[in-house]
Amino acid sequence: DAGVIQSPRHEVTEMGQEVTLRCKPISGHNSLFWYRQTMMRGLELLIYFNNNVPIDDSGMPEDRFSAKMPNASFSTLKIQPSEPRDSAVYFCASSRQADSYNEQFFGPGTRLTVL
């Protein structure tokens, strides 16, 4: 079975540019999560979806960040405009259900560098 797929794996962009990160969850999983990992702040939950509906976006740092899940097999995280402090590894994860019993499976991550 294919795991969680993320693209691109690496992204280098200049400050002010729009960045779009993509994620394909594991087939049959109903919940999708976006995380950001930095040395300073560790692993932070940005937003999660259940059945394509955003449930909690309280971790989204500011209005420059937006996430969508148009269907069960695809999600995007967009940063517009990007800033150097957005440089991080962004992980997408999915789980069967958004409950406390199901583990999350992580994608390989997208390493974003904003110059």
Partner 1 sequence: AQKITQTQPGMFVQEKEAVTLDCTYDTSDPSYGLFWYKQPSSGEMIFLIYQGSYDQQNATEGRYSLNFQKARKSANLVISASQLGDSAMYFCAMREGQGGGFKTIFGAGTRLFVKA
Residues that bind partner 1 (CB under 8 A): 33, 42-43, 45, 48, 55-56, 89, 91, 93, 98-106, 108-109, 111
Residue 24 contacts residue 4 (beta carbons within 8 Å): yes
Residue 112 contacts residue 81 (beta carbons within 8 Å): no
Closest separation between CB of residue 35 and partner 1, Å? Answer: 8
Output DSSP code: residue 115. Answer: -
Taking the least distance from each CB to partner 1, the nearer of 51 and 80 is: 51
Taking the least distance from each CB to partner 1, the nearer of 72 and 89 is: 89
Closest separation between CB of residue 12 and partner 1, Å? Answer: 16
- Please report how many Cα atoms fall inside a 13 Å half-sphere around the Cα of residue 73, on the Cβ side: 3
